[in-house]
């Protein structure tokens, strides 16, 4: 039984012309490359049947456990094409570690870092022609794992499917990098102490959708959640972590507390902050402190970050009663500087002094 992700080529890949048309304007999360990685776990045999084969729909029994109890986790990372045509991943080991943590929380089997990296690197090598070149195009990679046992009972699944798909991507937000308006959710929370907030599991995102819709209904692109116990402490956005720049030269982000996703971009930004003379601070920050800071201008910039969105300026925080515009509503210098610094490393334009990049081919 192979321990590696062997390639079974897609005999009907998209034509060069189709691929070129997609690469010209990929959007985000709309198109996928010709192959996907899969592996199966069973309680008795562990992980087996590793392969990178043709991209295809799953055949799933209607009684598959994931469809009923949402036992599922996922990851998001990107591959970047550098000027010399080489292709690189950004801190993929961090995603492997987080997926293992998410697996433990969701009572799913851990996939080893070796398998995680092998599945991704084999997929990227196989579909290298799909990795965009130029601009901020990237190859967004989505590893995930779900309960595939056919069984209607509430217990950890004894059959689990791992899969990794990927596709070319541009900006996460339809309008590109523009300040986004954020809706403060007062009706809903996404996580609570002891819950699954720190895990990257579909249920957290499902729980955020009604609030996300509320945000859209109020003309906002994203929703901000506070904590589940007191509804006081800022946690995170529907799909991103949040940061505040202050006149004291601090870069504040909510401390993790077990309810916030431990973002790879979040960690990278904290590290890069010092290079810009900012003091990274992880602590609890209340929504009232944020409103006061915007009001008295001691908060000069707010931005959101995540793998998909990179770093995106926040223009305003909104509630049913008020619009709190951050500074003059335009992207701040640290937001833009940090974004550029991160992208320069990812695209090989700046020295990777911390060894964050991993070459695929």
Q: Which residues bind ligand COI (CB under 6 A)?
A: 76, 239, 306-308
Q: Give 160 or 308: the residue with its C-beta nearer to ligand COI.
A: 308
Instruction: State the Cα–Cα distance between residues 301 and 324, nearest whole angstrom.
Output: 12
Q: In the complex, what is the shortest distance from the CB of residue 20 to ligand COI, in angstroms, rounded to a whole number?
A: 25
Q: Give min distance, CB of 306 to ligand COI, in A.
A: 3
Measured between alpha carbons, how far is 121 from 89 in angstroms, rounded to an integer? 9
Rounded Cα gap, residues 100 and 71, in angstroms = 14
Q: Which is nearer to ligand COI, 161 or 201 (CB)?
A: 201
Using alpha carbons, select from 91, 161, 165 the residue that is nearest to residue 127.
165
- The rounded distance, in Å, linking the Cα atoms of 344 and 204 is 31
Taking the complex as a whole, the smallest distance from the CB of residue 173 to ligand COI amounts, in Å, to 11
Nearest 5°: the CA angle 263, 214, 237 is: 10
Mapping DSSP to helix (H, G, I), strand (E, B) and coil, where does residue 279 land?
strand
Nearer to ligand COI, 31 or 47 (CB): 31
Q: How far is the CB of 266 from ligand COI (least distance, A)?
A: 10
CB nearer ligand COI, residue 189 or residue 294: 189
* Minimum distance, C-beta of residue 88 to ligand COI, in the bound complex (Å): 17
Beta carbons of 109 and 103 less than 8 angstroms apart:
yes
Q: Which residues contact residue 321 at a Cβ distance below 8 angstroms, ignoring those fewer than 6 apart? A: none
Which CB sits closer to ligand COI, 306 or 332? Answer: 306
Smallest separation, CB 325 to ligand COI (Å): 25
Q: What is the DSSP string of 18-31?
A: HHHHHHHS--SSS-
Nearer to ligand COI, 151 or 173 (CB): 173
Nearest of 80, 88, 223 to residue 138 by alpha carbon: 80
Give CA–CA dist 322/5, Å, rounded.
Answer: 53
- Determine the 3-state secondary structure of 139 from DSSP: strand
CB nearer to ligand COI: give 191 or 307.
307
Q: How far is the CB of 240 from ligand COI (least distance, A)?
A: 7
Element housing 119 (H / E): helix 113-126
* Greatest C-alpha distance within the chain: 64
Q: Which residue's CB is nearer to ligand COI, number 92 or number 293?
A: 92
Least Å distance, CB 199 to ligand COI, is 12
Nearest to residue 326, comparing CAs of 176, 256, 240, 224?
224
């Amino acid at each position: 039984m192979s321990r590696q992700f062997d390639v079974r080529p897609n005999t009907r890949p998209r034509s060069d012309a189709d691929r070129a048309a997609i690469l010209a304007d990929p959007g985000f999360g709309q198109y996928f490359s010709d192959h996907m990685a899969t592996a199966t776990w069973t309680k008795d045999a562990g992980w087996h049947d590793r392969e990178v084969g043709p991209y295809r729909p799953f055949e799933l029994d209607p009684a598959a456990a994931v469809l009923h109890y949402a036992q599922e986790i996922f990851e998001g990372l990107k591959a970047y094409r550098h000027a010399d045509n080489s292709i690189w991943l950004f801190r993929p080991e961090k995603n492997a570690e987080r997926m293992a943590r998410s697996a433990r929380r969701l009572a799913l089997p851990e996939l080893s870092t070796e398998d995680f990296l092998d599945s991704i690197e084999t997929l990227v090598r196989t579909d290298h022609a799909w990795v965009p070149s130029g601009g901020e195009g990237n190859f967004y990679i989505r590893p995930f794992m779900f309960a595939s046992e056919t069984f209607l009972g509430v217990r950890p699944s004894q059959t689990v499917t791992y899969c990794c798909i990927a596709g070319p991507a541009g900006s996460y937000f339809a309008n590109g990098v523009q300040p986004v308006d954020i809706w403060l959710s007062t009706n809903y929370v996404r996580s609570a102490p002891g819950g699954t907030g720190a895990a990257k599991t579909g249920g957290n995102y499902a729980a955020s959708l009604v609030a996300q819709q509320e945000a859209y209904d109020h003309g906002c692109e994203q929703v901000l959640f506070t904590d589940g116990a007191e509804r006081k402490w800022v946690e995170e956005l529907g799909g991103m972590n949040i940061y505040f720049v202050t006149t004291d030269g601090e870069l504040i982000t909510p401390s993790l507390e077990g309810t916030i996703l431990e973002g790879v971009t979040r960690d990278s930004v904290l590290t890069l902050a010092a290079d810009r003379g900012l003091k990274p601070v992880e602590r609890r920050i209340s929504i009232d402190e944020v409103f006061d800071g915007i009001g008295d201008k001691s908060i000069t910039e707010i931005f959101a970050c995540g793998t998909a969105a990179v770093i995106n300026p926040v223009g305003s925080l909104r509630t049913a009663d008020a619009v709190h515009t951050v500074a003059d509503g335009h992207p701040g210098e640290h937001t833009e500087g940090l974004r550029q610094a991160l992208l320069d490393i990812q695209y090989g334009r700046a020295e990777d002094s911390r060894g964050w990049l991993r070459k695929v081919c």
